[in-house]
Amino acid sequence: MQKSTYLILAAAGMLSFNSLAQDIKPTSEKTLQESIDKHKALFESSPLRDFKARNVGPTNMSGRIVDIEVANNPNTYYIAAASGGIWKTTDNGQSFTPIFDHQSALGIGAMALSASDNNILWVGTGEDNSSRSTYAGSGVYKSTDGGQTWQHMGLVHSQHIGQILIHPTNPDVVWVGSMGGLYSKNKERGLYKTTDGGKTWKKVLYIDDNTGIIDIQIHPTNPDVLLAASWERFRQAHDFIGNGKSSAIWRSEDGGNTWKKAVEGFPQDEFVGRIGFDFAKSNPDVVYALLDNQGKSDKPAPEPRRRGNQQQEENPIKIEDFKSMSLEEALALEDKRLETFLRRNQFATHYTPSELKRQLKTGKITTAQIADYNGGAVDANAAMFGQPIIGAEVYRSVDSGKSWQLVSESDIRQLYNTYGYYFGEIRVSSSDENEVFVLGVPLLVSRDGGKNFSRTDSVGRPHSDHQAMWINPKDSKHILLGNDGGLYRSYGGGAIWDHLNTQMPISQFYSIMVDQATPYNIYGGMQDNGVWYGKSTNKPEDPWEPLLGGDGMVVAVDTRDNDIVYTGSQFGNYMRINKKTGERRRITPGHDIGNAPNRWNWRTPAELSYHNQDIVYMGSQYVYQSLDQGNTWATISPDLTKNQKSGNVPFATLTVVEESPLEFGTLYAGTDDGNVWITRNNGGNWTSLNAGLPQDRWVSSISPSKFKEGRVYITLNGYRFDEFNTYVYMSEDYGKTWKSIKGNLPEEATNIIIEDPKMPNLLYLGTDQGLYVSLDEGKNWNLFQGEIPNVAIYDMVIQERENHLVVGTHGRSVYVVDLKQIHEWAKPGPKVMENK
């Protein structure tokens, strides 16, 4: 490449000289602590602290539960939500109360309840799962009064806590396993021990700056014997490595002061992934380990499931057939067979048999380009579910972890598929050393010491993706189970389950939308819980209605009749749904022949035009426009990403496509690799808006003004570099120049900004730590925190008729804020505006 060409591309935002991932520095411990302190000061001084917000649920479709701690009286227990704080019940699950709100982080990795003093509860912030929506924490907390009050006990930069253990007889002795940063390397990871109740800490096990401690277990009768699992893993926006030679089992015989690796019988290669284990209380020297083995299997991958009543076509046309097919042979193909071929391979809908043949005749496309239509692209969902890896394995030790033996004989690969990093829990019955539960996508049980496994949830079958289990030490039939769908309880050893789903609104929303019905409906896509909608007048316990499964993503509603909904699941699998008739049609656009295959973001952007709701926009690396409700599509942009990185996570994708509400044909687009673009002629040409913005950050939202042409707001996010700085900007000239409107905000990853529809200077901002309001276009911000906790705000929308701000949180379901109270407060006159 000539230097002049390189400079031109760089100036246009297509290349970056020195702001690659390794040049974006993770947030330091000092900055993190300063931000925590500033957030706390804003909370204490906020004039909005007592303003009202109403939670509307849902609770019938809950969120991820990652830990359960039960008191000596089993009617009292604590539930840790992945991103929704800590909840306590004293009546065996009939009611729950949040007890950790307004601490520095609501993402939870682990808890520990003292066996000798049930008033002592430890909480480690920062979820231990390494998923796309795993939030970093800010250290460990301790309560000595059952969760009424909390004291921060340090380890601020531990980021993600894998496990906490309290000595069974001396509550001043505590072990904490830190996984460290998810998207960066740091030396704060490892195993810590305190002997003075958390006043001081000693790091007693450290492997390297990319390997943390994911699990710790203590011998049931000898507290000097401990096991710890180290896990080497590194996530990036475009790639995830969840295994390595540093992943291992470690053993201590002196209370965790010194450690030795357990090597006999347990794998020691680079394919060792996440490890979890559990001792058998009925025979304490027996311990089981669950391993995510990423080694290649010699068994074929499971056959993909055929959709619906799909019939096997006799002698179908295969895409590779076009490699050697002449033009004459292609033109002679029967239209019916060609139509089946095009639809099966998900060619763009405008490629009908006649159109395909016309373009072949004119030379616009070739048979070689048809053969290369998928271009080696891998279906992202298929990559998660159908790879030939060894997957889950169960090992057993009869000498308290000194030596191990592989015992699982069942093929349990699909317990994990390829994403064992999301699981890792194994539990042994408190009364039978041979009854073993493994937690993954399904819940499986073995009653022969881990050799053979089967499902054990035939009645009241719980949600999938199981994360936490407690087995009553005095009654092994009494089990509590936490998964991505909430909390479940069994008194029959797991054969029958009750869903305790009416008390904790901890759903994790990716998106939110409203319609114009009376009362209006709220729609949203949720982490691993599909797409649902419910009435705006709901109480939290009132059920919402399902629309779609999978991981629920963006929703757009045709408000002309409120019946047509556009929505989908992960990686661009989108549909048009008629709520009244039940009709569903897949609308995901295919790419043009000759273009690279679509790369879809996990949370694919889609929206309807403000000017004509028959017009739909979607974004892969290209912007697509449909003029007929998604039936057919036109590509109206080139690849707008830098397209520089590749790995096993779809990347170089569009994250935002937004249309100006004032000017049809003016569109903004943002990407996960830091590009921002505008077109003012409906895609005729695109202009880079990168100049003046931080480079290479994830574009999390773009909000064109409803008051003034050319005014636009933007948020960017460095979360995927473990950089938690605040990036929020506005422009008055269509993005030619930008100014920061960070004002007095602390350093917090920013997700969404929107403008009030009645007062042009009034702005609402959602960060990973809560909701902020500005009266003066971002010069000063006030924290709206009280009835809304410091939970991550993923999306917001305003229902203008009712004057409601609807807030989609990733961990505490949905809140509705009546804006009348804010508008009254915002009227001219004396008030507190500066919280510095």
Cα 779 to the center of its chain, rounded Å? 31
Q: Tell me: pLDDT of 834 over 50.
A: no
Q: Cα–Cα distance between 439 and 412 in angstroms, integer?
A: 11
* pLDDT score at 381: 63
Q: Tell me the pLDDT tens digit for each residue of 122-163.
A: 999 999 999 988 999 999 999 999 999 999 999 999 999 999
**Structure tokens, 142:** 């301790």
pLDDT bracket for residue 469 (50, 70, 90): very high
Convert 337-356 to b/e letters by CB count within 10 Å (16 or more is b): ebbebbeeebbbbebebeeb
pLDDT bracket for residue 457 (50, 70, 90): low
- Which residues, 6 or more positions from 310, have their beta carbon under 8 angstroms from its beta carbon? none
Q: Are 703 and 657 a contacting pair, CB within 8 Å?
A: no
- Which residues, 6 or more positions from 114, have their beta carbon under 8 angstroms from its beta carbon? 120, 121, 166, 171
pTM over 0.85: yes
Q: Tell me the pLDDT tens digit for each residue of 711-757.
A: 999 999 999 999 999 999 999 999 999 999 999 999 999 999 999 99
Can you give the residue ranges of every domain in the chain?
3-25+507-826, 319-382
Q: Are 605 and 656 a contacting pair, CB within 8 Å?
A: yes
**Does the CA dihedral 150-152-155-156 come out positive or negative?**
positive
* pLDDT score at 260: 98
Q: Tell me: pLDDT of 380 over 80.
A: no
Q: Tell me the pLDDT tens digit for each residue of 748-794.
A: 999 999 999 999 999 999 999 999 999 999 999 999 999 999 999 99
Q: Cα–Cα distance between 493 and 477 in angstroms, integer?
A: 4
Rounded to whole angstroms, the maximal C-alpha distance in the chain is 83
Topology given in CATH for the domain delimited by 3-25+507-826:
Methylamine Dehydrogenase; Chain H (2.130.10)
**Does the CA dihedral 212-404-273-510 come out positive or negative?**
negative
* pLDDT score at 830: 52
Q: Tell me the pLDDT tens digit for each residue of 3-48.
A: 332 233 333 434 333 344 458 999 999 999 999 999 999 999 999 9
Cα 635 to the center of its chain, rounded Å? 29
- Which residues, 6 or more positions from 162, have their beta carbon under 8 angstroms from its beta carbon? 109, 110, 128, 177, 178, 179, 212, 213, 214, 215, 216, 229, 231
Q: Tell me the pLDDT tens digit for each residue of 161-192.
A: 999 999 999 999 999 999 999 999 999 999 99
Q: Which of 90, 77, 89, 82 is nearest to 62 (CA)?
A: 82
Q: Tell me the pLDDT tens digit for each residue of 330-377.
A: 999 999 999 999 999 999 999 999 999 999 999 999 999 999 998 866
pLDDT bracket for residue 311 (50, 70, 90): low
Q: Tell me: pLDDT of 546 over 80.
A: yes
* pLDDT score at 460: 77
Q: Tell me the pLDDT tens digit for each residue of 638-682.
A: 999 999 988 999 999 999 999 999 999 999 999 999 999 999 999
